[in-house]
Amino acid sequence: MIKNFLKYIKPKSKNKFFFIIEFFILILVNFIKLIIKKIFTLIPIRIYENLLPYSLNYYHFDKLKLIKIFKTREELWHSAIEKIGVEKKISFIEFGTFEGYSIKKFTELNKNPDSIFVGCDTFIGLPERWNKMPKGMWNVDGKLPIIDDKRVEFIKGKFQNTYSEIEKNINTKNELLFHFDADLYSATLFLLTKLDKFKEYYAIFDEFTGHESRAIYNYCQSYDADIEFYGKTIGYSNTPHRVFCKIKHKYK
């Protein structure tokens, strides 16, 4: 270990005296670096993951600071449908439906009789723990929501297993609006990469600062996608909570 450590200590001074001084300074600096790295090694991954979204908001999603703030998520949803067009034929796919509150609201906002609304969920709750929420949170025992609207359908199961069925409902002749409300990094990143084949689409993220912003960041890095932000609500830590945006490819 010491041999390996000393391998990287390479003073450059020609003068013997300065060489020795430099040698000891390099030892000290490298030793401090080693200690810092050891400390960072001991910090659990979950701490880094929980902190990353705040840095992302500050550096990467800085355009979010400039967009309009809505008081409630219902107001944000309303503005989203107004921007897309109340009468526009849309394919609205919701990832995370639970008892159907949000999908029902969207059916009330969009008036086109040929629009498609699909609610996707395990309907037995979260497939894994999300922050303090345990696996199985939002379990409705497999029962589908009852919504009196012929345009609505539900797809039951984990997105990772039902995606091919979900994709059949995405009609690219319609305006596409995807509601990401699964909360989890794993589910959100999976969906973003699958949906990458659609050149651009409107999206609403329900828990932006957290798992979802991490997933968006990683997706954009790998797929050269870009985001245009339109509106947000603010959460308890004064960070973007619900976000309405458009996801598009830079070069497609």
Ligand X SMILES: C[S@@+](CC[C@H](N)C(=O)[O-])C[C@H]1O[C@@H](n2cnc3c(N)ncnc32)[C@H](O)[C@@H]1O
84, 139, 195 from 172: Cα distances, Å? 14, 32, 12
Rounded to whole angstroms, the Cα distance separating 91 from 159 reads 17
Number of residue whose CB is nearest ligand X: 96
Nearer to ligand X among residue 116 and residue 133 (C-beta) = 133
Restricted to residues 157-186, the positions that interact with ligand X (CB under 6 A) are 158-160, 181-184
Given the structure tokens 């600096």, which residue do they identify?
29
Which region, judged by CB under 6 A, interacts with ligand X, from 51-59, 80-88, 123-131, 147-155? 123-131
Distance of closest approach, residue 183 Cβ to ligand X, in angstroms: 5
Q: Does 121 bind ligand X (CB under 6 A)?
A: yes
Distance of closest approach, residue 156 Cβ to ligand X, in angstroms: 9
Rounded to whole angstroms, the Cα distance separating 159 from 16 reads 67
Q: Residue 13 is inside which H or E element, if any?
A: none
Tokens of 2: 């010491």
Q: Residue 179 is inside which H or E element, if any?
A: strand 175-180
Q: Does 125 bind ligand X (CB under 6 A)?
A: yes
Rg, C-alpha atoms of the chain? 24
Which region, judged by CB under 6 A, interacts with ligand X, from 50-58, 83-91, 93-101, 214-222? 93-101
Instruction: Say how many residues touch ligand X, by CB under 6 A.
Output: 20
Restricted to residues 140-159, the positions that interact with ligand X (CB under 6 A) are 158-159
One residue of 91, 122, 209, 233 binding ligand X per CB under 6 A? 122
Nearest CA to 189 among 239, 225, 139? 225
Distance of closest approach, residue 36 Cβ to ligand X, in angstroms: 37
Which of left, alpha, beta for 112 (phi over 0: left; psi -120 to 50: alpha)?
beta
Query: Which positions lie near ligand X, rule CB under 6 A?
Result: 96-99, 101-102, 121-122, 125-127, 138, 158-160, 181-184, 187
